[in-house]
Amino acid sequence: MEYEKFNFMKIISLIYRKTNMYLNNEISELGITSGMAPFIMLTCVHGKMIQNDFCKYLDMNKGTVARAIAKLEENGFVERRCNSVDGRFIDVYPTKKAKSIYPFLKKIGQKWTNEITYNMTESEKAEFKRLLEICAENSGKFFKRS
């Protein structure tokens, strides 16, 4: 009984699924999926990123990142070039196409944040964000210990 009242996995799963549904619905006309959006956002914010840095930012393995970047390059959202300092690295740049949708991606992200935090005070929103960051950090630490 108590388990059902406070089931973190169920709540997190629900938020994750609904977030992806929302994002996929909002960005479908752009030719990208919810999984591609964070890559576009990061390249637009940074202007240039070493491909392996996506692994750190998004907590993904190299193979997953490489496939996502290849798909984005194929669709004209990013460009990859050899790093001029160290040829073992690949630099990823946003294209004009990526930069043109970046403001829209930011806007829909903010809209969703407003939806899921509706009726929360500003201090509750700040506390919610702080607690989510702690949960994310702890989940990452678990896998580093294993």
pLDDT, one tens digit per residue, over 29-67 is 998 999 999 999 999 999 999 999 999 999 899 999 999
Q: Residue length, the chain?
A: 146
Cβ atoms 27, 98 nearer than 8 A: no
Q: Does the domain spanning 2-145 belong to CATH 1.10.10.10? A: yes
pLDDT, one tens digit per residue, over 118-129 is 999 999 999 999
DSSP assigned state of 51: T
